[in-house]
């Protein structure tokens, strides 16, 4: 079977220009999802194209993703990113992935041992809010989480990300190896502290001495990530196949815009990401707040209200003057005043966001963005509302956005059609809604 690794690709497709034989698994990444493929892995690939090196990535998935991993192996760990702009598209073959491991295809033991190889310098993660097993009310490790309970009872055979990280760090310490940097790349506020709390919480339960060693020797830099990456569909994969002349089941489409702001605090080195335009800074939090409230907050606003209004995609919402005006007003009148960031033109930033949302080539589904709202709304909307309440200033559109979420998670639209609500608290929400309807 032909793959992108076995055929001659069209000249307009950008392919790796570096020697992939030099790559080592210096980065181990949890979560080979769409966003990582189009963001961190792509930016690492840009660094390699610019100056070569050995900063390869080993992709890890635990109890899902085995089919995707098999497909990736079949094409020599290459995959395609199609950047889709209003003025045209660009296909890029990413070669930064060196190998991949999956608990079903390989073994959990093999995965944990990969973290313990001497050359591993960074462990990065895109596992969503749920993957950190943190209690959202306290910010501490959720010891009632079934995977955490399992890991505390079976510490050498962990099933959670915190459990695996702690076991790997324990083994590295016992073997006299240097620790690695733990780099959260998830779109959550203060993500460095979130993963740090998860890891230290697990370590404290196992050994206070181990927790002290991790606290002293392991770094947990914060990051801000930004790129709109819709989930792959049959249509998007077919479009990419037309660009390539061959199928790529691992391919992903995204917008041209990309931004990554990273706290420059690495204990064992890092790629020269700044060569690829990454902003290496001392404090990421102001950037995180700007993005989460202005971009993600308005995205959620459009997702819930747009879905309820019959719009399938964010770009469809932006064709409606009322939605377009409401989104921009939400950004500038209600979210921007709550931010601490300096030396950024927020009006210009908002206008760029509106243009990105309106990109007709990007079919980003309102239903997809509406997922996991109970985990996302606290940082996207409720944080801003809290500030407005303290100042006694207007937050009408934020209230409308929360109302849209409440209506959406009821599970039925105005026409009586069922809504496929995807949320870790969907059962609890359903109980509350049913109780109110009785």
- Name beta bridge partners: 224: 261
Distances from the Cα of 214 to the Cα of 59, 133, 168, 239, angstroms: 23, 19, 11, 46
Which of the four pLDDT bands, split at 50, 70 and 90, describes residue 412?
A: confident
Spatial neighbors of 10 by CB under 8 A, at least 6 apart, are 243, 244, 245
pLDDT of residue 246: 98
pLDDT of 436 over the 70 cut: no
**150-193: pLDDT as tens digits:** 999 999 999 999 999 999 999 999 999 999 999 999 988 899 99
Q: Region 117-136: what's the mean pLDDT?
A: 95
Full DSSP string of 2-65: --TTTSPPPTTSB---S-GGG-EEEEEEE---HHHHHTHHHHHHHHHHHH--SEEEEEEESSS-
437, pLDDT greater than 60? no
Average pLDDT, the chain: 95
Burial class of residue 142 in the structure, from the number of CB atoms within 10 Å of its CB (0-12 exposed, 13-18 middle, 19+ buried): buried
* pLDDT over 70, % of the chain: 99
Query: 74: which 2 tokens?
Result: 């079949």
Which tens digits make up the pLDDT trace of 35-82? 999 999 999 999 999 999 999 999 999 888 899 999 999 999 999 999
CA pair distance 82, 236, nearest whole angstrom: 9
Span 324-352, mean pLDDT?
A: 97
Closest of 225, 168, 228 to residue 191, by C-alpha: 225
* 125 has a pLDDT exceeding 60: yes
Query: Does 300 score more than 60 pLDDT?
Result: yes
Decide if pLDDT at 438 tops 50: no
The span from the CA of 152 to the CA of 166, in Å, is 11
Long-range CB pairs of 414-421, under 8 A, 24+ apart, other chains included: 414/308, 419/307, 420/367
pLDDT tens, residue by residue, 199-250? 999 999 999 999 999 999 999 999 999 999 998 999 999 999 999 999 999 9
Q: If one looks up domain 20-282 in CATH, what number appears?
A: 3.40.50.720
Nearest to 56 by CA among 93, 5, 21: 21
Return the axis-axis angle of helices 161-174 and 146-153, rounded to nearest 10°: 30
Q: Which of 24, 29, 2, 4 is nearest to 79 (CA)?
A: 4
Q: From the DSSP assignment, how many helices (H) and strands (E) are in the chain?
A: 19, 11
pLDDT at 434: 64
Report the pLDDT value the prediction gives residue 435, as an integer from 0 to 100: 63
* Per-domain boundaries in the chain: 20-282, 286-430
Outline where DSSP puts E strands in 249-337.
252-254, 259-263, 279-281
Q: How far apart are CA 58 and CA 114, in angstroms?
A: 9
Residue 179, helix vs strand vs coil: coil
Within a 10 A sphere around the Cβ of 392, how many other Cβ atoms?
6
* Residue labelled with tokens 């079903």: 104
Q: Distance between CA 39 and CA 34 in Å, rounded?
A: 9
**In this structure, which CATH number among 2.60.120.10, 3.30.70.270, 3.30.70.100, 1.10.1040.10 belongs to the domain 286-430?**
1.10.1040.10
> What share of the chain has pLDDT > 90, as a percent?
88
pLDDT of residue 353: 97
Contacts of 139 (CB under 8 A, 6+ apart): 193, 194, 197
Using CA atoms, how far apart are residues 301 and 299, in angstroms rounded to an integer? 5
pLDDT single digits (tens) 380-396: 999 999 999 999 999 99
**pLDDT tens digits for range 208-220:** 999 999 999 999 9
């Amino acid at each position: 079977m032909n793959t992108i690794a076995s055929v001659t690709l069209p000249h307009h497709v950008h392919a790796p220009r570096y020697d992939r034989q030099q790559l080592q698994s210096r980065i181990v990444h949890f979560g080979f999802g769409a966003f990582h493929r189009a963001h961190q892995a792509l930016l690492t690939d840009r660094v390699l194209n610019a100056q070569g090196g050995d900063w390869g990535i080993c992709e890890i998935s635990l109890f899902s993703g085995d089919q995707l991993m098999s497909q990736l192996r079949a094409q020599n760990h290459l995959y395609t990113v199609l950047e889709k702009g209003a003025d045209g598209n660009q296909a890029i073959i990413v070669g930064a992935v060196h190998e991949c491991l999956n608990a079903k295809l390989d073994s959990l033991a093999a995965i944990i041992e990969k973290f313990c190889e001497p050359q591993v310098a960074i462990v990065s993660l895109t596992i969503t809010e749920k993957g950190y097993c943190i209690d959202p009310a306290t910010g501490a490790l959720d010891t009632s989480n079934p995977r955490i309970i399992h890991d505390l009872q079976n510490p050498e055979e962990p099933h959670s990300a915190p459990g695996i990280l702690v076991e790997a760090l324990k083994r590295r310490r016992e073997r006299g190896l240097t620790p690695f940097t733990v780099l959260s790349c998830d779109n959550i506020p203060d993500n460095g502290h979130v993963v740090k709390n998860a890891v230290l919480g697990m370590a404290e339960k196992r050994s206070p001495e181990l927790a002290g060693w991790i606290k002293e020797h392991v770094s947990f830099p914060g990051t801000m990530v930004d790129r709109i990456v819709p989930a792959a569909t049959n249509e998007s994969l077919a479009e990419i196949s037309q660009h390539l002349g061959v199928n790529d089941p691992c391919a992903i489409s995204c917008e041209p815009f990309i931004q990554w702001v990273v706290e420059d605090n690495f204990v064992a080195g890092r790629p020269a990401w700044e060569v690829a335009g990454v902003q290496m800074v001392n404090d990421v939090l102001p950037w995180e707040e700007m993005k989460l409230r202005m971009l993600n907050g308005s995205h959620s606003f459009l997702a819930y209200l747009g879905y309820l209004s019959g719009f399938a995609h964010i770009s469809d919402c932006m064709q409606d003057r009322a939605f377009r005006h409401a989104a921009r007003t939400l950004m500038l009148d209600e979210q921007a005043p709550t931010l601490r960031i300096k030396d950024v033109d927020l009006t210009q930033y908002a206008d760029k966001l509106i243009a990105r949302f309106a990109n007709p080539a990007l079919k980003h589904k309102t239903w997809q963005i509406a997922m996991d709202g109970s985990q996302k709304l606290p940082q996207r909307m409720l944080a801003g509302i809290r500030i407005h309440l303290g100042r006694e200033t207007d937050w009408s559109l934020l209230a409308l956005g929360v109302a849209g979420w409440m209506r959406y998670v009821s599970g039925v639209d105005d026409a009586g059609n069922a809504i496929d609500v995807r949320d870790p608290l969907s059962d609890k929400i359903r109980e509350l809604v049913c109780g109110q309807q009785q």
